[in-house]
Structure 1
């Protein structure tokens, strides 16, 4: 398994469709901020403007454009940068939105159709992949037609959102997750500047090491043995890895091991000694101490808290 796949499997991402919109000018909607959520908007028909909190420039969106706001920042969608925006909750009240079906709002002028949704991430997870994503991820319609995967997926989502047949929301949720993963891959491929942690995936030698760590985190890795995987000297590898990943190789190994342990604690029934051994710890005490440093609680308490959380949900 490659490192990016393993990371994305770890994140416990859950997507959901907000709604399909039918908006007519003049219209403006302000979406409030929300932590641990990445929001997305896809322009299916027409055009609009997007203004994201703490970004200087407004973003123009038209047919086929896709934006993801990874950190849940407050933002405004409108037919024009000059149109006043109404808070989303007030829009719901004004039109008596029933919670399903298209959201119809605006003054009756030029139309715009968006598909809007979000990716929520488990509060238990803090991962440098998410932490270091830029404020806005964007794939324009002309890019999407060059990248046929996105063109096809957006077209399928538009069809399902319009028809809303039985199972449509489940299909849209799965396709939305694919979009999130593919947009991250597109960002990695197209970004020339340095992005902490993410840039490690664009270096072939460091990316190979990441995949080896994720494939067998329990291996008794050393900086020297990882340097051999990268075909680099110990010091050159250590410096390059730390520069790109924003942590040392040994820090990253510990991070991956404990992320794997957290999944085992919540998704399986292995004993603590068995989990400790499976991720490369020689004693349960050492594992417990390291786990508490990363997650704030010891493994047994972490498991109990998550069992209680699942029973309440």
Structure 2
């Protein structure tokens, strides 16, 4: 399994479609902030403006454009930059929208059709990749991709959202996951600036090291032997890895080990000493101390808390 796939599994992604819109000018909607989600909007027809809280400038969106808001920030969508904005909750109440079919709203002017959704992350979903993503990921509809998967995914989501045939929501969930991966790939291809952690996948050497760590986190990794994997000196490798990921190599090894442990504690009944051994800790005490530092509680407490929550 490659590192990016394993990281997305770490985030425990569960996408959920919420609605397709048919909006006619004049219209303006404010979508509230929401934690542990990444929201997306795809323009199927027409044009609109997006402004994300914390960003100085708005983004003009037109046919085929896709925007992802990775951190669930509050944002506004409107037909023009001067249209009055109304809270989404008020709009839903006004049109008596109950969650099925398209959201139809606005005046008598030109129309805009959007497919909107969100990627929800579990309470444990955390990773430097997600934390360091820009506030907005914008993929223009006219951008060429190394693969046609993104265009295809958007097209299928639009079709399923429009028809809502049996099984549509399950299909949309899977396609949304594919779309998020493709957005990350498109961002990697198009970005001219270094984005913490995301840029690590562009560097062939650091990407190879990430893959090795994720494939075998229990290995007795050191800065020296990780650097040797890619024929780099200890100092050069450490400097390059830290610059691209904002973590030292051993900090990242520990992070991956403990994330794997958290999954084992929730999903299995393996004794704590065996969990510790499976991720490279020979001492249960050392494992417990490291785990508490990352998750705020000891492994046994963590397992009990999530067992009670599941019950």
Normalising by the smaller structure, the TM-score range is over 0.9
How many Å separate the matches in 2 of 1:76 and 1:308?
39
Does 2:254 correspond to 1:249?
no
What's the offset of the Cα at 1:270?
Answer: 1.2
What's the offset of the Cα at 1:124?
Answer: 2.0
Matched with 2:292 is: 292
Matched residue count? 311
Matched with 2:18 is: 18
What's the offset of the Cα at 1:101?
Answer: 1.1
Matched with 2:227 is: 227
Matched with 2:275 is: 275
How many Å separate the matches in 1 of 2:147 and 2:53?
29
How many Å separate the matches in 2 of 1:61 and 1:146?
22
Does 2:8 correspond to 1:8?
yes
TM-score computed with the length of structure 1 as normaliser? 0.97
What's the offset of the Cα at 1:204?
Answer: 0.8
How many Å separate the matches in 1 of 2:238 and 2:153?
40
Task: Give the conservation status (yes or no) of the 8 Å contact 2:10–2:127.
Answer: no
Task: Give the conservation status (yes or no) of the 8 Å contact 2:238–2:249.
Answer: yes
Residues 159 and 144 of structure 1: CA distance in aligned 2, closer, same or farther (over 3 Å): farther
How many Å separate the matches in 2 of 1:177 and 1:42?
15
Matched with 1:184 is: 184
Matched with 2:97 is: 97
Task: Give the conservation status (yes or no) of the 8 Å contact 2:145–2:186.
Answer: no
How many Å separate the matches in 2 of 1:145 and 1:215?
28
Equivalent residue of 1:142, what SS?
coil
Task: Give the conservation status (yes or no) of the 8 Å contact 1:261–1:279.
Answer: yes
Cα-Cα RMSD:
1.2
List structure 1 runs of 4+ shifted beyond 4 angstroms. Answer: 144-147
Equivalent residue of 1:39, what SS?
strand
Matched with 1:32 is: 32
What's the offset of the Cα at 1:86?
Answer: 0.7
What's the offset of the Cα at 1:191?
Answer: 1.4
What's the offset of the Cα at 1:229?
Answer: 0.4
How many Å separate the matches in 1 of 2:269 and 2:64?
45
What pairs up with 1:297-308 in 2 under 5 angstroms?
Answer: 297-308=297-308
Q: Structure 2 stretches of 5 or more lacking a match?
A: none
Residues 224-276 of structure 1 deviation map (CA, whole Å, 9 limit, x = unaligned): 10110021011111111111111111111000000110111112221111110
